[in-house]
Amino acid sequence: MNIVQPIRDKRVIEGIKSFLKGRNQRDYVLFCTGIYTGLRISDILWLRVSDVSGTHIVLREGKTNKPKMIKINIELREALNPYIKGKQPEEFLFPARSRKIKSGLRQQPLHRSTAYKMLNFAARHFNLRDIGCHTMRKTWGYHLYMHNPRNLALLMEMFNHSSETVTLRYIGITQDMADRAVDELSYA
C-alpha cells in the first residue's frame, strides 16, 4: 500500500478545484466534499442529496460505525447548491454514470476506483505525487492543523485517532519536520 500525502499548497488546491470544475461538476463537488469535510471516500460515495441539504452532514461512519456530524462550511455549500438543484433527495450525491457490470444495477454510487482515477488525473496535471483518495481527508486535516495547531486534540478526536502522534504522522506534519531537519543538517 502506498502512502499518500496531503496537498499542502493552497494555490494547488484552488488550481485543482478550478481544473475539475471546468471538466466535470460531479468531480469538482466530490473533491470539495473531501477537502471540506474530512470524510473517508467510502463515506462520501454513499452520501445522498438529502444528506447535504441542511447545515450539517449526519452519518454513521462505515469504518468505525460511529455517528458523525460535520458542518457544511460556506465554500462547500457554494459548490453543493447548484450541483444538487433539481435532484431528488434519495439520489446518490455522486452517482456512477453507467450500469454496474457485476450486478447490472443502475443509479449506484460512484466506485472508489473511479474517484481514485479522477484524483490522479488531476494530480498528474499539477505534477503531484503520492496522491490517492485519502489525500482529500489528509488535506482537510493538514490545513485545519496549520490554521490552528493548538487544536491538535480536537483534530485527533475528529479523525478518531488514538494519539496526537498518530494524527501528526497521518497529516504529514511528522514528515515535514523530518524533511526540514535533514535540510538543516550541516557539519560546517
Q: What positions carry a catalytic annotation?
A: 40, 63, 134, 137, 161, 170
Q: Which of 83, 19, 70, 22 is nearest to 44 (CA)?
A: 70
**3-state class (DSSP) for residue 58:** strand
Q: Fill in the amino acid letter for 86.
A: G
Q: Which of 94, 51, 83, 88 is nearest to 70 (CA)?
A: 51
The phi, psi pair for 142, rounded to 5°, reads -60, -50
Q: Which three cell numbers stand for residue 119?
A: 484524483
Name the DSSP letter for residue 67: E
